[in-house]
Amino acid sequence: MKNPGKAISKLARYASVAMLFIAASLLVVWPLVQKLPLFSTPTQLFGLCVALLAALILDLARRIGPQEQGESVQVQRLSIGATIRAATDRRKSVTTLRVLASTTETILPALRDSSIHMKSCKVMVHDFSLSADPNAITQVAKSDSLIQTWSELPQRKIANEVVVKRVQFVPTFFVVIFDDRTLVHGLYIPASRSTNAVQYLEPMLIENRSLASQAIIDMFIKQFDDIFDETPIHVKSSRQK
C-alpha cells in the first residue's frame, strides 16, 4: 500500500459514518430489537454494534486496498536495449508505436531486431539539416541513414506503415510508447552545442498496471500526438500488398 496513513484516515472517516449509520438504524428498529431474546440486554446490544462495525471496517479495508495500490507507479530503470526487450518480449504486435528521439540510433536497432510486429509507426526526430554549422554534417548523414532504415521496415515485414516527421526543436527527452500499455522515457544531455548532438541517460520503463501509470502514459500520448499532428510528413512508407 502506497500511503498507509492515508488509508487509515479513510478508514477512520468511514468508521465514524458507519457508527452513526448503525446508531440511527438501531433507533429506528429498537422496538423490534427489544423483542428479540438474544439482544434483550444493553451488553448484548453493544456486542451487536461492535460486530457490525468490525464487519464494515474489514470490508472497507478490502475495498480501499486496491484503490491505494492503484495510485502507485512502478518504475524500472534499464538500458534502452533492456527496456525495449522488456516491452516486446510479452507481446507479438503493436497497433501504434510512437517514438520521439534525437536520431533513434539506439532505439531503432533494438526494435528492428526484436520479434515484434508494428502495424503503425509514428516517428519524430530532430531535423539536423537546419544547422548551418559544417560540423553538423555527420549528424545529418546519421539522421538520414536512420530515417531510410525506418522507411524500409514495411518492406522487411516488420511494420505495416511508417511515418517519419522531423521536428525543428532539439528534444530534451526521448519516448517510446507501445500502444497505451508501455512507456520508455529517458533524458538527453547536450554533447555538442554546435551540432545539437546529445547523449542519453538510462531510461525508465513504466507499464500500465495502475490508474496512476495509465494517467502518465496517456499524458505522453497526448503530448506526442499534438506535436505529431502539427508537423509535416518527411517520409511515409507502407507495405506493398
* 31-65 confidence digits (pLDDT tens): 655 555 554 555 555 555 555 555 555 555 555 55
**Residues 220, 120 share a domain:** yes
**Residues 204, 112 share a domain:** yes
- Residue 192's CATH number: 3.30.870.10
| pLDDT tens per residue, range 197-235 | 656 677 889 998 888 899 999 999 999 999 999 999 999
Number of domains in the chain: 2
Q: Which three cell numbers stand for residue 128?
A: 539536423
Among candidate residues 198, 201, 199, the one with its CA nearest the CA of residue 136: 198
**Residues 136, 62 share a domain:** no
**Residues 124, 25 share a domain:** no
pTM: 0.67
Residue 178 has pLDDT above 90, yes or no: yes
Instruction: Look at residue 81 and give its three-state secondary structure.
Output: helix
| pLDDT tens per residue, range 6-34 | 544 554 555 555 555 555 555 555 565 55
Residue with cell 552545442: 193
In 20-150, beta strands by DSSP E: 75-77, 93-101, 117-126
Q: By residue range, what is the domain housing residue 112?
A: 75-238
Tell me the residue length of the chain: 241
**Residues 81, 60 share a domain:** no
